[in-house]
Structure 1
């Protein structure tokens, strides 16, 4: 079974997190007819700190999850604080890996995960941001981030018999914009036993990279895919047409950043958000938009890039952690019931993706 990521739920304290799980995760498990449902758990920094300081609270959370038929082998530690404010945009990239708060938060998450992992888990994973948004960033920031990852690795080595691994998630517009950028930065800087790649297949699609070749390049560099975030981007075949422009304009919304790439014969052109794309991109070639689309939905007259997801999954190792990460449900028009939607996504994943993955 593939996990679903709980950063879709707007909860900023432990009671709120449990309430959201009662509202949705328990119902998703029932709709799927399974005894146990894996989660990709998101904990705001304040909650992670409180749990890291209190082992009895961690064991209590594990018991609460078990009572609901829920398990956790992976955490999403990309968003640090409120991920559901009125405007998130660039705030999701703060603090960066050049800020000591990022190391502290990630280390707290590792402490929590060590006590949450089920006995059946062979390893735990924590996904994190690709260092920072690309500006401002310089050589000093690079050095500080490398030192922080080295210190985190030192702590992870002492996390117990089952390793906890960090998964760095490339994202358009960031210091590590593409998987190729992440591979080039990480190789030779990190211990590949403890630090690897989080392959977000929405981000991969937006970059117009070939999925199988990307997976092969990660392996060739001596790195591993620690975690896959099963997600799909929005594709606009004819962004210059009246129909295409009108259809994609419906996805403009103020909360999240929706980076856009245009695939031209001379290279991939970039815009940092969907409104910017209308003003700066030529719109003569296909666009892909960083808007996580529900996996089971094809947004006619546009399409989603589930083909990239399927191709990537065909190339990953069978023991890779996989979570469905569609955090955009709350900004989608006519999204319908969230519990039904998450269950439908997981059914789609079960039916269309290679099922040898772990959660």
Structure 2
């Protein structure tokens, strides 16, 4: 969906398709025809934005067969869908039985991450609507924090220089500006937005910047305005909510301790890589916990648990409530519907409810559907 900011600029709202387990092009097309098209109908929207996740095999196939890429663009148009952003964080296998730490591979020290990302940029430049000249791609915050060496740091910086040069060349060739947003995440090399400012301060800011994930920032107990003070452009916001437990009520989180995804957990006094470690005594029980478990934006979990929806509201006010938007791409990214303790039977209805919730929050900031 497109919304008009009070300053006249267009803000794009989409939902991220990494919620779908499709790993190949036929599966992706089926999810678009099924779930995404139904979400658009439920919202009564003329156009629905989708933040495509293209696993590496699917992306490679589209690059190898331009006719398939042209057909995907036509398929999106027929369904009333549009793509201005891609999620380039998971490389492949995001819905394997166990994902956990695998999601951070390959990292930005690996030339394959560079090739994959530049390939996504080529695809996005071809998929952008005719009246849109700027697209965005979100990516991992360089690497998981362990195993960091001087050689790895040098390889990362070389690849960042190369991806910026590739995006600049793509812009000259196509007239489309594709920008890459690094997404701080607890436990990674870049955990917080201040760390991003320190590690990415010398990169090409015309093409490289930040993707702010509201869940990650909440788990890090960051101030909502922290991302705006780094000196880095905020190319994209991922609208997401973390799970919260008040002091003494953490046993209620046991229902969310599932085996597929990594659920980093933090309190004022500590951090664990996963929720199970925290529940086993890794964090003090007399403090509030925040958990990296993307929960639906519009719905409260069973009491006494809550979510970081108020934090997301503050971040939206920071980024979009001022005289000009600090980002123009907003992507709802709740990829955990299938692993919720009470997974809803109707995924499309759930996604539509989230987008409607987000549409209402943006309207309260003065944005109007366009």
TM-score normalised by structure 2 residue count: 0.91
Q: Choose which of 299, 306, 310 in structure 1 pairs with 2:309.
A: 306
- Match for residue 315 of structure 1? 318
RMSD over aligned CA atoms reads 1.5
Aligned pair in 2 of structure 1 residues 358, 327: CA closer, same or farther (>3 Å)? farther
Aligned pair in 2 of structure 1 residues 358, 56: CA closer, same or farther (>3 Å)? farther
Question: Do residues 228 (structure 1) and 231 (structure 2) align?
Answer: no
**Deviation larger for 281-290 or 323-332:** 281-290
Aligned pair in 2 of structure 1 residues 358, 284: CA closer, same or farther (>3 Å)? farther
Please give the alpha-carbon distance, in whole angstroms, between the structure 2 residues aligned to 1:31 and 1:55.
32
Q: Choose which of 87, 90, 100 in structure 2 pairs with 1:79.
A: 90
Aligned pair in 2 of structure 1 residues 198, 358: CA closer, same or farther (>3 Å)? farther
Q: Give how far 1:261 is off.
A: 0.5
Alignment of 1:83-102 (within 5 A): 83-102=94-113
- Match for residue 138 of structure 2? 127
Question: Do residues 324 (structure 1) and 332 (structure 2) align?
Answer: yes
Q: Give how far 1:132 is off.
A: 1.1
Q: Partner of 1:158: helix, strand, or coil?
A: helix
Q: Partner of 2:137: helix, strand, or coil?
A: strand
Long gaps (5+) in structure 2: 2-12
8 A contact 2:194–2:227 mirrored in 1: no
Please give the alpha-carbon distance, in whole angstroms, between the structure 1 residues aligned to 2:118 and 2:76.
21
Q: Give how far 1:9 is off.
A: 0.1
Q: Choose which of 156, 159, 162 in structure 2 pairs with 1:148.
A: 159
- Match for residue 123 of structure 2? 112
Q: Give how far 1:216 is off.
A: 3.0
Q: Give how far 1:53 is off.
A: 2.5
Q: Partner of 2:251: helix, strand, or coil?
A: helix
Question: Do residues 184 (structure 1) and 192 (structure 2) align?
Answer: no
- Match for residue 138 of structure 1? 149
**Deviation larger for 168-177 or 313-322:** 313-322
Deviations 1:317-352 (A, max 9, x none): 525211000000010122211011000000000112
- Match for residue 276 of structure 1? 277
Q: Partner of 1:97: helix, strand, or coil?
A: coil
Deviations 1:209-267 (A, max 9, x none): 1002x03312xx2x1100000001011111xx2xx123111110000000001014xxx
Please give the alpha-carbon distance, in whole angstroms, between the structure 1 residues aligned to 2:133 and 2:115.
24
Aligned pair in 2 of structure 1 residues 132, 357: CA closer, same or farther (>3 Å)? farther
- Match for residue 289 of structure 1? 291
Name the count of aligned residue pairs.
Answer: 346
8 A contact 1:215–1:312 mirrored in 2: no
Q: Partner of 1:157: helix, strand, or coil?
A: helix
- Match for residue 203 of structure 1? 216
8 A contact 1:39–1:71 mirrored in 2: yes
8 A contact 2:272–2:278 mirrored in 1: yes
Q: Give how far 1:357 is off.
A: 9.3
8 A contact 1:320–1:357 mirrored in 2: no
Q: Give how far 1:182 is off.
A: 1.2
Q: Give how far 1:122 is off.
A: 3.6
- Match for residue 261 of structure 1? 266
Q: Give how far 1:358 is off.
A: 10
Q: Choose which of 229, 247, 251 in structure 2 pairs with 1:246.
A: 251
TM-score normalised by structure 1 residue count: 0.93
Q: Partner of 1:211: helix, strand, or coil?
A: coil
Q: Give how far 1:64 is off.
A: 0.7
